Structures are given as structure tokens and as C-alpha cells.
Structure 1
Amino acid sequence: MIIKPQSKIKDYQSGLYLVSTPLGNLDDITLRAIETLKKSDFILCEDTRVSKILMNKYEIKSDLISNHKFNEKKNISKIINFLKSGKIISIISDAGTPSISDPGEILINTCIDENIAIFPIPGPSAVSTAISISGFSDKFLFYGFFPEKKNEISNELKRLSEFNHSLVFFVSFKKINKIIPELKKYFSGRKIIFCREMTKLYEEFIRDNVDDLKPFEKEPKGECTVVISEKKDGKINSHKLSESDKVIINKMINKFSIREITQIISSNKNVPKKVIYDYCLKLKNEI
């Protein structure tokens, strides 16, 4: 089915508009997003100080209402009353598409229950932006933010590692070093990319093999979008030992036989036994 672009857009009507805003570079906003925000009676935003920067740039005069995870439930009744009285209300996040790991889900579900119209105004998304430059499979699972407790994070990563597709999640750099051991435990043989400050002045993409990950010596600030590559079909994902594998073998070489080491490593790593055996043999000959 071919859908032709509309040459005319229908007039704005009362309802809730989910408006995507730039990830960082304010030039990434769409013309329709600007028009929608200007037509809005109220704009719900996470942090009014952040949103005012965007509003000032595009001369948007609509009233802002603070709407974050700590007060969104309290705001529901007031917002629903505005919508039922015929107001046009937009909801935005500090960056990207609202309601995706940001406030909005509670209000959207209430609007559905109350039969209030909801309109998506598409635009920037950290998820699609990270996937697009990853080089990994475009069949992906988006998780969002992980729980707070370490054992819960470990359990979630273990469960997610069973999926064959790419995995996208958000994480604060304050937590990144805490989850690196878990990533190496459950996603061995895969590739990873850390996307930081996307579209901003200090945009950075850090690519690595999961097996070779090391803790960040200096934790970058802010949040990060992380993409892990898909699980490869078949048992053998790599024909080389990672540096971390070699460190483990070096520690075992004087305690176990080559055959035992080969069996142990091959049971946990998707590396051919011959590669492991040959490396062990080389170490033995050097001793």
C-alpha cells in the first residue's frame, strides 16, 4: 500500500499532542512541531527552564506547565478538565519523543479512558538515532532505564541476553561502571556502542567489543544511549580470543592442563576450541 503525503493539514482540534523535541541541537525541530506548540493553549514539560530555551528560540508564547515524574499524577485532574473544555495541550520532554522513558504514559492512558483525542507529532528520538548509526541489526528491543538495585539489573540483563535482536537502553554514566561486569557476563561475543551527547557540541560514539570493555577511568556526565549488537546465529561468534579471555587463561595456565582450560573457556565463550588450545600451547612453550 502506498500512502501519499498530505498536501493540506487539517485544522488543529482539541486534544493532547505528543510533540517530539530536539535531542540537543535546536535546529532539529520540525516545522509541524513549532506550529503545534504555537497553537497550544498549554505545554506540559519536564523542566520549564530547559523548555524555555527552545520556546525563546522559536518565539513560542504558549503557557508552560511543569509536568515531571514527581507531579504528573497530581496534574492529571487539572489537565483532563482543560482538555474536556476544548483546550489544545501539548506534552514534550526535555529531549526527544515524550512518554518514552519520560512522563506521559499516565496522562495518555487517562485520555484513552476518557475518549480524548491524542495526536503524535513525530520527530527526534534517541532510540532511532542510536540504532541508525550502530551498524547493528535494525530488529531491536528497547528497554529504557534499568531498575535501581544491582541484583534486579543483573536479572534483567540475564533475561534480555536471551533475545536474538539488538538491545537499546538508557543509562546514567554514574551507573555505567557498575553494569559493565554484568554486560561482559551476559553479552559475551557481541559488540556495543555508547552514544553520548548526541547532536550536541561534544557528541561522542564509543564502539567496542563487550568482552574487551573496561571501566571508564573518568565518568562522563549525563545520560547515555547504549546499543548492544544482535546475538549471532550458531555457536561460533568469534574466531579470536578477547584480551579478557587471554588474561583468564594466563591465570589458569599453571593450575590446569591445556585440555581442562580449553574445556572451561569453550563452555563459556563462543570461540573455537582449536584457537583456545593453540593459545594455551603457545603459553606453555614460553614458560
Structure 2
Amino acid sequence: MLIRGFSMVTSTAAAAATPAVAFPRQRSRCHFPLIARFLASVNRPSTICTASNSVVSLALYSTESSTESKQKPLKPGLYLVGTPIGNLEDITLRALRVLNSANVILSEDTRHSGKLLQHYNIKTPLLSYHKFNESQREQAVLTRLKEGQIVALISDAGTPGISDPGAELAKLCVKMNIPVIPIPGPSALITALSASGLPTNEFTFVGFLPKHAGSRRERLIVSANEATTQIFYVPPHKLCHFLEETSSAFGDSRQCVIAREMTKLYEEFWRGTIGQAKEAFSTHQPKGEITFLLEGKPPSTDDAPSESELESDLKELISQGHTLSTAVKMVATGKSMKRKAVYSLALRKFGRPLESEEDGDHP
């Protein structure tokens, strides 16, 4: 889904074939044996860790364990498994268990997901499942599920079903009463929001904008008038064009946050106004998929107009030759008010319903 590429830190103190991860010196205790025991409990290739000079290596080995799992067997169904958005350490024990136990793993890009499975020595078969083949794969996947198999679905990174083909498969399974089980994990939009500094109590996730220019403009105008934090996904090569579009809809003074390469070595959170962002990114194209956040529309500081002011405006427009219906629309738009409120005032003050000769759409 987002941020295509896992980060690995190599270690000279570990086995040459094994990626390693470095921890602060004071954390000398190794917790990776927990993963080793956990994976061994599901009778799959497991992990073990060694420590040397405060560098902890995650070494992979194949083992056959006779230890009975203390956890209940997984029930058949579609498992939506969250995977790291960049840092392999962000995988959960539950996700590892499901990926080890599944009959098959559906993946957007099997080559990309193969890196994750190889890192944890997971041998479950991979099957490609993306927007270009989902209609062909759908029936085969449903057959597996109806037969009682465990099917795991992962995206390239993050939580499946969010801005990727997994949403349609999950919807279909729900319709057919096939269990859909979420396995929580990383999510680019929540990760970015939590560290953005923008309001988090309410937000609107837009995701990728439509391809059609008119539809993009309409969506941005809607977002520009919402009071909640707006969250978009933006390909890096389209950032400059996106900034021009948002500038047109939101203005240059709205605060924004550009989050990229999250959880990876070159993670960046750029903060400023849309105008400042246009200047900052006009000369270079950032790398890595972008989560773009915009502050919601600030509350109006203008006092609500009085009834006498509204009545005066209506009379003036009518004296200029406008119908009462048109005058109500113009006043409501100009004062940023609901047309229904101005309509009620017009009925009380002028004592007659609005004319329908304009377009007949009363509020």
C-alpha cells in the first residue's frame, strides 16, 4: 500500500547471511528468543538471537519442534494481516503466527513480500493478488475459503484493505458469511497522524485522489471546507502538482505536514504552510511514498449576522430586480449560512413562500 521497501541494518558481528538490528548499548538483554519460542510452537522454521558488543542479530534457523502450541488453532477464514511500513521490527507476534499457519498468503507483489517472509524464514506459499488480477483470482480464493482453509492477505506495506484491492475481497467474504479476521499492525495514515502535531480527535482519510482532474478538484474543494484534519496519499513524483492543486482549493496559508520514509532510516516529517511547501519542494523530488496531512478549516471569527442585517440585504437584492428565491441563495452564500435559516427569515419577514421560477429547489 505505502512506502515500498523494508530497511535492514547490517551487522558484522552476526552471521553473514542474516540481517541484523542494532539496539542502544544499555539494552543488552535479548528479547528475540521470545520470537524463537513462539514460532517453534507452531511447528514452523523459527528464529534465535545472539548478542555481541551490544549488537543483537536475528539469526534464522530451521527446526522441527514437538512442542504443542498452547494457543488455540486458528479458525478458517480470511485474515487481514498488518505488515511493517518500512522497519521489519514492527511485525507483531500474532502476525508471524498467522503467516506461518496460513495455507496461502495473498500479496500485492510477491517479490516484495517475499523479503519479509524470507527475513522471518516463513515458508507459506505466496499468491499474487492485486487490482490487475483480482477478478481472475477471486473465485479460486473463495473456493479455498469455502473448503475451510486459512487465507492470509497482506499489502505491500501496512494494513490491507486500506487503499488496496483487499477491501473488495473482504467485502465479498462478509457478504458470503465467510469469517474476516483483522490482525492489527502498522498503518501509514495513523502513524503519520499521531506524530503530525495536527488535531487527532477527528480526521478524514481521503487516500489517493481520483485520476480525473474534475473529480480531483471536487474532492479537494470538499476537503477544504471540512473542519477535520485531512489525510491524503501522494506519490512522490506527483507532489509538486498536488501542492498546486491544494493551493488552489485551500489557499497558501493552511498548515500541512508531509510525512515520508516513516519508520525507516531517512524518516522525515516536514511541517509548514502550503505556500512554504510549494517553495521547499519546487526544486527537488522527495523519495518514498508520502502521507500528506492538512489542517481542517479554521472556525469563522466573524459574528453571525443579525436578522435586521439579513433582512436589509434581502430587500436590497429584491430592489435590484432579483427574485426572493435568488436573493435567499445569494445572501446564504455570501454570509456562509445554511440556506434554510435565511429561507425561514424570509418567510417571517415577507410572509410568502419563495418563487420557483429560478430553479424550484427550495432549501
TM-score over 0.5 (shorter chain): yes
| Cα deviation digits, residues 69-126 of structure 1 (max 9, x gap) | 1011111100000011110000000100001001212211211121101100001000
C-alpha distance in 2, partners of 1:190/1:153? 18
RMSD, aligned α-carbons:
1.6
C-alpha distance in 1, partners of 2:171/2:106? 16
* Residue matched to 2:264: 200
Q: How many residues align?
A: 230
Q: Is the 8 A contact 2:224 2:296 kept in 1?
A: no
Q: Shift in Å at residue 162 of structure 1? A: 1.3
Q: Shift in Å at residue 148 of structure 1? A: 1.5
The one of 200, 211, 214 equivalent to 2:275 is 211
The verdict on how the C-alpha distance between 1:89 and 1:33 changes in structure 2, with shifts beyond 3 A counting, is same
User: Percent sequence identity over matched residues?
Assistant: 43
Q: Is the 8 A contact 1:73 1:106 kept in 2?
A: no
TM-score by length of 1: 0.77
Q: Shift in Å at residue 222 of structure 1? A: 3.4
- In the alignment, structure 1 residue 16 sits paired with structure 2 residue 82: no
TM-score by length of 2: 0.61
* Greater relative CO (CA pairs within 8 A, separation 6+): 1
The residue identity in structure 1 corresponding to 2:117 is M
* Residue matched to 1:124: 186
Instruction: State which structure, 1 or 2, has the greater radius of gyration over its C-alpha atoms.
Output: 2
The one of 205, 230, 233 equivalent to 1:167 is 230
C-alpha distance in 2, partners of 1:194/1:213? 9
Q: Is the 8 A contact 1:17 1:121 kept in 2?
A: yes
The residue identity in structure 1 corresponding to 2:81 is V
* Residue matched to 1:61: 123
The one of 200, 203, 206 equivalent to 1:143 is 206
* Residue matched to 1:96: 158
After TM superposition, the structure 1 = structure 2 runs for residues 1-287 of structure 1, keeping only pairs within 5 Å, are 10-138=72-200, 139-188=202-251, 189-214=253-278, 215-235=281-301
Q: Secondary structure at the match of 1:213?
A: helix
The residue identity in structure 1 corresponding to 2:161 is S
Q: Shift in Å at residue 13 of structure 1? A: 0.6
C-alpha distance in 2, partners of 1:9/1:227? 40
Unaligned runs of 5+ in 2: 1-69, 303-333, 335-363
Q: Is the 8 A contact 2:256 2:273 kept in 1?
A: yes
The residue identity in structure 2 corresponding to 1:164 is A
